[in-house]
Amino acid sequence: MNSTQHDISSTENLARRQHGQDVLYRIDGDQGGAVIDSLADINPAMGHHIAAFAFGDVYDRPGLDARSRQLVTLGVLTALGGCEPQLKVHVGAALNVGITREEIAEVMLHAAVYCGFPKALNATFAAREVYTSLDQPQDPTVNAADRR
Amino acid sequence: MNSTQHDISSTENLARRQHGQDVLYRIDGDQGGAVIDSLADINPAMGHHIAAFAFGDVYDRPGLDARSRQLVTLGVLTALGGCEPQLKVHVGAALNVGITREEIAEVMLHAAVYCGFPKALNATFAAREVYTSLDQPQDPTVNAADRR
Amino acid sequence: MNSTQHDISSTENLARRQHGQDVLYRIDGDQGGAVIDSLADINPAMGHHIAAFAFGDVYDRPGLDARSRQLVTLGVLTALGGCEPQLKVHVGAALNVGITREEIAEVMLHAAVYCGFPKALNATFAAREVYTSLDQPQDPTVNAADRR
Amino acid sequence: MNSTQHDISSTENLARRQHGQDVLYRIDGDQGGAVIDSLADINPAMGHHIAAFAFGDVYDRPGLDARSRQLVTLGVLTALGGCEPQLKVHVGAALNVGITREEIAEVMLHAAVYCGFPKALNATFAAREVYTSLDQPQDPTVNAADRR
Amino acid sequence: MNSTQHDISSTENLARRQHGQDVLYRIDGDQGGAVIDSLADINPAMGHHIAAFAFGDVYDRPGLDARSRQLVTLGVLTALGGCEPQLKVHVGAALNVGITREEIAEVMLHAAVYCGFPKALNATFAAREVYTSLDQPQDPTVNAADRR
Amino acid sequence: MNSTQHDISSTENLARRQHGQDVLYRIDGDQGGAVIDSLADINPAMGHHIAAFAFGDVYDRPGLDARSRQLVTLGVLTALGGCEPQLKVHVGAALNVGITREEIAEVMLHAAVYCGFPKALNATFAAREVYTSLDQPQDPTVNAADRR
């Protein structure tokens, strides 16, 4: 694997991507594959690297538990600002790994001290959209990828 | 407490600040009071609100454990960028609440996925400065506030 | 006030929040209470601290007049980016404290020098939405909190 | 030109603006004038300086070719975050100066390394909106300025 | 002025730059020219546009007083983060236009609500460096441009 | 490669890292390996992924030439702010792939339009440090990793 390492269709990279997608599914549930699929037409390499690198290489590392990873992710995404679509996916992932809605509220209040109330409010309202969606009967026609 | 609520020297606010400083000491150790002290000449109200609001009102809330709060803080500070002085204080606080150096390294690698490698590198090198300082015999003349 | 300082339902904190809401109403008009109300279900502590801390403790301080505070707020929100909902509330507040639409346009052109034209354009178009809303007959069914 | 240099209606500034608009049209096509026009009612000085300064003074400088300028612009706008309206205009401009859709996808994957995947995803989906619009029969009633 | 509008050495642009430098001197004092001079070897066009555009075209506009402009600038620079060198110049300019040290402290506390305490602390410590320098006998060998 | 994909010491990952380091050396020269080495003690996994992912997987992709990649990188790093150490490495890399100092000056002036003059000034002064270092006799004791 060297001069063709960048080839996302090599046998080796297909295996790496598949493993990453498995991790992604475990954390994000059904939305996982949909995000990657949504990139297939416009930026398949980005989809590959989100699966193979972000989830297969990094998220799956044993040195930090999933709860801790999601707490860091919520902190980063709240602070960046303008990443509400990604924040909504990761609020869902946070619930999946056992972080409660009450804890998510505390995360965002805590973040407000360090990145200010406006970004913390945006994050809070993004979380509310996730909860509203979860509390309603699922609409199978909604494209999960739109929430990535 | 109404028209004088903003008076940081009122009996009530002195009690609030004292409680916040107790929380700050518990998390940050000796550096805690030094930060507040360093603001005494230039912005005492900011020092007051860091103690009374950030630590007394928010950090001390029971809905999220200290480990989780520090993980969020590390995520926010890494993502903001340019906040290495504060990041160093909070790397120290992370160690104080039981997060290991190995976990902090994982936090920063994980953050790199979401905020990019340059900010994650800055955070990593800030952490190294903290470890270098901790691993050397303490110099009692260093002003802890400079690291806030 | 110490081990229960974080309790937002204590008599003392209810008084602090009430005072902050009075300041918030004075600056933001009818929208003030709606923002706090909108957080009641999802993050009441954030609503509390926006009222009690941001408005009761900080905004109400006598060391800087309301016009100056709104100019700083417009500068910060324009520079942060992605905070258009908050910017719209504060454009309204700026008008309330006597800053004119022409001055707000100058603020955003001035900010463009320091944070670039794209963020200044976003701020300008956010302001236009506020003016469009103000120049039309009020619709009492609009939830003011959505604009926070 | 001194004490009246700031007068955007002076003969000299009208000539500067006109030249800048010519450059803007050359890069952005029909959308160019629409952006400036959209600012006429709310911030005409901002429209003037986008034309006269950003395009007439800077973009037109011979020291860097148009392709290179658009690559820098895409990098800056992706990294800033929250500037999707401007990003869409500049994706269109990138196509106009000969950068391909495949290269734009590479630009955004490359940017992900330095500013993280969430902002790169936002940029990617903004680009898709541009392509979707271009691939459909043009609707002459769409206000190009909304895409600035 | 059209196909040569970008030529910063044209008679017209020299006049525009000279006027901008006059405005810059009026606001920033002796440091003004030094900033432009410091760019002469590496990016003279940037120096030109800071003088001609930022100060001659924008700052000098009559629609917003100098005090208001500096308040916006302090808000923007505090929120951006990482711009301490520029913040120090503008703290000096704020003092020049009559904003007091006490007001600057309030500006930064106020900004903390919207962009978080870490950036407000960085701004506060940048201001302290300015005051420390002002309160000591002037060292004529210090290159003012280093503080831009 | 699946359950052990995250193991940076596997034969496969060592090969991926080695290839990435080759790409890194080709772009950054002698500084390349030093950056990775500097992470060996504190965050070896971050060093691995900068080599294997950022350079081996992404930079080496054939869809965008090295000149274009560096222009995007300069745009992103200038806009992020606070990433001067990384910017200096990439100014060096830009020179290595044939971008001239004059073009780099244009890049930064161009970026100023979109992200404001303060960040563009920081980038300009970072570039000057690179040039100053290049124009002096090399000091072999300087740790290149400090500039990453």
Average pLDDT over residues E56-62: 97
Closest-CA residue to A52 (of F26, F70, F16): F16
Give residue B98's region: left, alpha or beta (phi > 0; psi -120 to 50). left
pLDDT single digits (tens) D97-146: 999 999 999 999 999 999 999 999 999 999 999 999 999 876 555 554 44
Q: Do C5 and B16 touch (CB under 8 A)?
A: yes
Nearest CB to F112; choose among E46, E83, E148: E46
Nearest CB to D5; choose among E1, E5, E57: E57
| D54 close to D87: Cβ distance less than 8 angstroms | no
Q: Which residue of B has its CA nearest to C17?
A: B2
Q: Which residue of B has its CA nearest to D80?
A: B115
Q: Which of C46, C58, C115, C119 to mutate to test the interface with A (most CBs of A within 10 A)?
A: C46
Residue C131 Cα to chain centre, angstroms: 16
Confidence of residue E3 (pLDDT cuts 50, 70, 90): low
- CB neighbour burial string for F62-93, b if at least 16 within 10 angstroms, e if fewer: ebbebbbbbbbbbbbbbbbbbbbbbbbbbbbb
Q: Which residue of D has its CA nearest to B120?
A: D114
Alpha-carbon distance of E13 to D2, in angstroms, equals 11
* Length of chain D as a residue count: 148
Instruction: Give the rounded percent of residues in chain A with a pLDDT score beyond 70.
Output: 90
Q: Which residue of A has its CA nearest to E117?
A: A114
What is the predicted pLDDT for the residue at E103? Answer: 98
Nearest CB to F42; choose among B81, B112, B124: B124
Asked if residue B107 has pLDDT above 90, the reply is yes
Distance, in angstroms, between E1 CA and closest chain C CA?
23
pLDDT single digits (tens) A72-95: 999 999 999 999 999 999 999 999
Alpha-carbon distance of C14 to C26, in angstroms, equals 18
* Average pLDDT per consecutive 10 residues, chain C (148 residues; last block may be shorter): 82 95 89 83 97 97 97 98 95 96 98 98 97 81 48
Q: Do E49 and F112 touch (CB under 8 A)?
A: yes
What is the predicted pLDDT for the residue at F147? Answer: 40
Asked if residue D32 has pLDDT above 90, the reply is no
Which chain B residues contact residue E106 at CB under 8 A?
Answer: 45
Average pLDDT over residues A98-105: 98
pLDDT single digits (tens) F4-32: 899 999 999 999 999 999 999 999 887 77
Measured over the CA atoms of residue B60, residue B63, residue B68 and residue B73, the dihedral's sign is: negative
Q: Do D42 and C124 touch (CB under 8 A)?
A: yes
| E59 close to E95: Cβ distance less than 8 angstroms | no
Q: Do E43 and F119 touch (CB under 8 A)?
A: no
Phi, psi for C88 (deg, rounded to 5): -65, -40
DSSP state of F64: S
Run of H or E residues at D107: helix D101-115
Q: Do F127 and E50 touch (CB under 8 A)?
A: no
Distance, in angstroms, between A101 CA and closest chain F CA?
30
pLDDT single digits (tens) A7-63: 999 999 999 999 999 999 999 887 777 888 899 999 999 999 999 999 999 999 999
**Cβ-based interface (< 8 Å): residues of D facing E:** 1-3, 5-6, 12, 15-16, 18-20, 22, 45, 49, 53, 56-58, 60-62
Confidence of residue B29 (pLDDT cuts 50, 70, 90): confident
| Structural domains in chain B plus CATH codes | 11-59 (no CATH), 66-147 (1.20.1290.10)
Q: Do B124 and F148 touch (CB under 8 A)?
A: no
Average pLDDT over residues B22-45: 88
Average pLDDT over residues E57-77: 97
> Across all residues in chain E, what is the average pLDDT?
91
pLDDT single digits (tens) F19-76: 999 999 999 887 777 878 899 999 999 999 999 999 999 999 999 999 999 999 999 9
Region of poorest pLDDT, from D52-56, D63-67, E133-137:
E133-137
- Please report, to the nearest 10 degrees, the dihedral formed by the alpha carbons of residues F13, F17, F18, F23 taken in order: 140
Closest-CA residue to E129 (of E88, E89, E81): E88
Q: Do D120 and A82 touch (CB under 8 A)?
A: no
> Across all residues in chain A, what is the average pLDDT?
91
Q: Which of E6, E8, E28, E46 to mutate to test the interface with F (most CBs of F within 10 A)?
A: E46
Environment class of residue F132 by beta-carbon count within 10 Å: exposed (0-12), middle (13-18) or buried (19+)? exposed
Q: Name subunits touching E (3+ CB pairs < 8 A).
A: A, B, C, D, F
Q: Which residue of F has its CA nearest to E73?
A: F118
D44 Cβ neighbours under 8 A, 6+ residues apart? D8
Tokens of F63: 């869809």
Q: Do F109 and E46 touch (CB under 8 A)?
A: yes
Distance, in angstroms, between A109 CA and closest chain C CA?
6
CA-derived radius of gyration, chain C: 16
Q: Percent helix, strand and coil across chain A, each rounded to 5?
A: 75, 0, 25
> Across all residues in chain D, what is the average pLDDT?
91
Average pLDDT over residues A81-110: 97
